[in-house]
Amino acid sequence: MAKYDFKLPDIGEGVVEGEVVMWHVSVGDVVSEDDPIVDVMTDKATVTIPSPTDGTVVSLNGEVGDMVAVGSVLIEFDTDGSAPSIPELEDESEPIEEEAEEEQVEIPAKTEVREVVKSPEVSKPVQMSAPEIPISSSRTVLASPAVRRRAREANIDLASLSGSGPAGRVRHADIDAFVAGGGAVMGAPPVAYSTKRSGVSEVKIVGLRRKISEQMVKSAFSIPHFSYFEEVDVTELEALRQALNTSRGEDQPKLTYLPFIMLALAKIMPEHPECNGYFYDGEGVVHRHEAVNLGIATQTDRGLYVPVVKNVESMDVWQAANDLIRVSGAARTGTASLDDLTGSTFTITSLGRDGGLGATPIINHPEMAILGVHKAREMPVVRSGNIVIRRMMNLSSSFDHRVIDGADGARLVQHLKKMLEHPAMIFM
């Protein structure tokens, strides 16, 4: 019996261990070379590792959430050739197809079922509404006049119902349940009140979710956040966006608000250098960057990713939109490269789809600032003493108060507000 011990390979420079995120195989499974066997997450990326050989899985070393060192045995295979060959599998499939065809021949038997369904006897239960119950009872029933009147009209004895209201008061919902049950359920409370839930499920925090958790704790407890909120009139920006989308070429993406916000930030950031860069704890040095590399918080099925659009200062609005679509799409499909996910100097998190008036976004450590964009909506506002309808958008922002004063953060947001309310300035 030939055994093959597959060890966790070196999957990145400087990587010494990886976390088992998901097994694609189980003990006893027959795999072929290059079949995916396990997802392993490192500090740099999540990698799907393929099978190095044909064989049968004998053992898996490590459960989901466990850390496995590079060079240690990850999985054991039996490669003695006991697994069925491909021709055998093909031969076995032929009688299965024949059986399936034979079963399909017996379809006429379903005709009898349809005849039963169409039988007029099935409609008899529909005739039952509220059952007739003699109205006689000696106990006192608590109910409102409206409930009593309804009970009388439906010939229902309130004393036979167990009220779900305070002190056993009979409510309309109790009558509804009584009628819905055909009179068999006496005063059953509505479904919302009838079943107590006591189940508890345990979800292990692994992979990206664990990384996000660690990063959020580090950011929240090591960075003193200063948050600032502002509303922006984007009526003119909306008109410009609509006009550009109408005139766009086939090779140009449909514009959202984000590309304009990205360009506006890149335009004004040289005047606010304290907000663009990194601050590593313990170094005592702020790394201010000239390049504007914007991280775009992107929700995926695997958790929150922050792909990066780099050097936005060198782009036009169409280029920014294209690169935004590219990196966010790669993050959602799991094809983003390490370069796509690193190097941001400022982060934007868009909450527009979910709405909301405000939030306190958590800074993406070791960055120093983050901007939250909320849903644009039409609202009545006062202009020159008159109430007019304008399209308004709320902005939420957070800054590292260790290295950015509140006044400096507020000036950045106010400068951005000016650019978005007069969008021609973005392109000047």
Residue 373 CA to residue 424 CA, distance in Å, equals 20
Identify the three-state secondary structure at position 394.
strand
Burial 348-365 (b: 16+ CB within 10 A, else e): bbbbbeeeeeebebbbbb
In the chain, how long is the greatest CA-to-CA distance?
A: 89
CB-based burial of residue 307 (10 Å sphere; 0-12 exposed, 13-18 middle, 19+ buried)?
buried
User: Parallel, antiparallel, or unpaired for β 346-350 and 369-373?
Assistant: parallel
Helical H runs in 223-269? 235-247, 257-268
> Annotated catalytic, 405?
yes
Residue 189 CA to residue 196 CA, distance in Å, equals 12
Which entry of 401, 408, 415, 422 is annotated as an active-site residue?
401
List phi, psi (to 5°) of 261: -65, -40
In the beta sheet, which residues pair with residue 371? 348, 397
> Annotated catalytic, 24?
no
Do the beta carbons of residue 142 and residue 170 sit within 8 Å? yes
Please spell the DSSP secondary structure of 47-107, one letter per residue: EEEEPSSSEEEEEE-S-TT-EEETTSEEEEEE-SS-SPPHHHHHHHHHHHHHHHHHHHHTG
Please spell the DSSP secondary structure of 109-127, one letter per residue: GHHHHHHHHT-GGGGGGGG
Which is nearest to 423 in space by CA: 235, 211, 177? Answer: 235
Which entry of 5, 80, 91, 405 is annotated as an active-site residue?
405
Give the active site residues: 401, 405
